[in-house]
């Protein structure tokens, strides 16, 4: 005979309530089973949310951006390969869910889960999670809890872990910058570039910001200056004698940040001060970076690469938390605003079109899916 006292009946009820084998929530996701052109390989897929277990949490995604690396990942041209897996027991094809970054809210937690509760807002603990989906179930270690705040928007939180963190690390980890020192960067209107401008301003560092020329360049110059850019110049001005003299007058930068490559990246390196540090973190122009030997021999400039995913893999959650808390604090105090962004409608065709457009250039800001 089985005897239940009141306490064990309550426990049993909780187990039945929480750990049913099927979930009545349907996940909608943008997935792919092969690499290729995003609009050809991405497809809409709906499946039941995996059930909660004592060790897992369930989250509902609020917003996820489309970053250049996400597009490269779908194309198969990114070193970080996503996990291809059976998302549903009825599937016979293994899929990867698109997207690496986003903000989600915890909607349920298993009884053994500690340090994360219903209502918490979380970001992904690592790249490659698959954030173009409405819900997910996973171990608590898949997520990092954000400090509670009402004054930071979902757009800021959804776009926090890649671009602002990359800017933060590059400004902190390669050379000691003192107040008044200069940094030069290209792709300055990118989300990383906007983050560099704002962090540098908050920390008293001056920036020389290189952007591609365009018909409405004054509007862009104005936008970046509003964010805190000290100087904005175009890539076709970069190699001129006048620019060289101006930069010498302002103060030669100790740090250069390159996400473009090709000719303008070479020109930018020439403006660094002796013993300067030059960090390459992207290759938007898809052209190699060639370097005059004199920069290495006579100016002793050091050239580095930076990859945020590697930093996240080689540092612990506590170190990441310190950085994230500092960034959120700057956001709360109004020193760090939303990136320029446009909303992508959460339907198959608009998202596929947005992903195809993701790396075409001269865009109108970060594309963000709001679920």
Residue closer to ligand NDP by CB (options 87, 355) is: 355
- Residue 140 vs residues 111, 124, 144, 315: alpha-carbon distances, Å: 12, 10, 8, 18
- Residue 361 vs residues 1, 4, 245, 297, 371: alpha-carbon distances, Å: 71, 66, 30, 35, 25
Member of 187, 228, 253, 276 binding ligand NDP (CB under 6 A): 187
Member of 38, 50, 68, 276 binding ligand NDP (CB under 6 A): 68
Selected range binding ligand NDP among 93-101, 108-116, 129-137, 360-368, rule: CB under 6 A:
360-368
Closest-approach residue to ligand NDP (CB): 282
Q: For residues 205 and 171, what is the distance between their CA atoms, to the nearest angstrom?
A: 10
Instruction: Verify binding: residue 282, ligand NDP, rule CB under 6 A.
Output: yes
Selected range binding ligand NDP among 48-56, 114-122, 144-152, 279-287, rule: CB under 6 A:
279-287
Which of the following is catalytic: 19, 32, 35, 78?
A: 78
Q: Which long-range contacts (CB under 8 A, 24 or more apart) does 47-51 make?
A: 47/87, 47/88, 47/90, 47/91, 48/22, 48/23, 48/24, 48/88, 49/23, 49/25, 49/135, 49/136, 49/137, 50/23, 50/137, 51/19, 51/20, 51/21, 51/22, 51/23, 51/137
Selected range binding ligand NDP among 31-39, 82-90, 140-148, 361-369, rule: CB under 6 A:
361-369
Would you tell me how many other CB atoms lie within 10 Å of the CB of residue 14?
11
Instruction: Verify binding: residue 162, ligand NDP, rule CB under 6 A.
Output: yes
CB of 224 to ligand NDP, least distance (A): 11
Member of 166, 198, 252, 277 binding ligand NDP (CB under 6 A): 166
Burial level of 107, CB count in 10 A (0-12/13-18/19+)?
middle
Instruction: Verify binding: residue 192, ligand NDP, rule CB under 6 A.
Output: yes
Instruction: Verify binding: residue 303, ligand NDP, rule CB under 6 A.
Output: no
Q: For residues 312 and 142, what is the distance between their CA atoms, to the nearest angstrom?
A: 13
Asked about 78 being catalytic, the answer comes back as yes
CB of 193 to ligand NDP, least distance (A): 6
- Residues making contact with ligand NDP (CB under 6 A): 67-69, 162-163, 166, 187, 189-193, 212, 259-260, 281-282, 284-285, 306-308, 361-362, 366
Task: Tell me which residues are annotated as active site.
Answer: 78
């Amino acid at each position: 005979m089985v005897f239940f006292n009141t306490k064990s009946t309550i426990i049993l009820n909780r187990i039945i309530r929480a750990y049913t084998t099927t979930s009545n929530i349907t996940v909608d996701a943008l997935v792919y089973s092969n690499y290729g052109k995003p609009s050809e390989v991405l497809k809409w897929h709906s499946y039941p949310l995996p059930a909660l277990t004592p060790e897992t949490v369930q989250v509902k995604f609020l917003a996820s951006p489309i970053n250049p690396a996400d597009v490269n990942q779908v194309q198969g041209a990114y070193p970080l390969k996503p996990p291809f897996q059976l998302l549903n027991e009825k599937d016979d094809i293994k899929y990867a869910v698109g997207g690496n970054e986003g903000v989600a809210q915890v909607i349920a937690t298993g009884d053994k889960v500690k340090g994360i509760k219903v209502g918490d807002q979380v970001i992904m603990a690592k790249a490659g999670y698959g954030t173009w989906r409405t819900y997910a179930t996973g171990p608590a270690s898949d997520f990092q809890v954000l400090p509670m705040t009402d004054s930071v928007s979902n757009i800021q939180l959804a776009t926090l872990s890649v671009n602002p963190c990359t800017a933060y690390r590059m400004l902190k980890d390669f050379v000691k910058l003192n107040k008044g020192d200069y940094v030069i960067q290209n792709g300055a209107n990118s989300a990383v570039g906007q983050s560099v401008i704002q962090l540098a301003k908050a920390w008293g560092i001056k920036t020389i910001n290189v952007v591609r020329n365009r018909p409405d360049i004054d509007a862009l110059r104005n936008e970046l200056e509003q964010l805190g850019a000290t100087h904005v110049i175009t890539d076709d001005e970069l190699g001129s004698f006048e620019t060289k003299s101006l930069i010498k007058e302002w103060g030669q930068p100790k740090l250069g940040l390159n996400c473009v490559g090709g000719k303008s990246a070479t020109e930018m390196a020439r403006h660094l001060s002796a013993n300067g540090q030059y960090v390459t973190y992207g290759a938007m122009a898809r052209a190699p970076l060639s370097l005059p030997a004199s920069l290495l021999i006579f100016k002793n400039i050091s050239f580095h690469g930076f990859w945020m995913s590697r930093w996240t893999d080689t540092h612990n959650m506590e170190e990441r938390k310190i950085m994230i808390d500092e960034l959120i604090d700057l956001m709360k105090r109004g020193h760090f605003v939303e990136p320029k962004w446009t909303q992508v409608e959460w339907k198959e065709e608009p998202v596929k079109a947005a992903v195809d457009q993701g790396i075409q250039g001269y865009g109108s800001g970060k594309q963000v899916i709001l679920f």
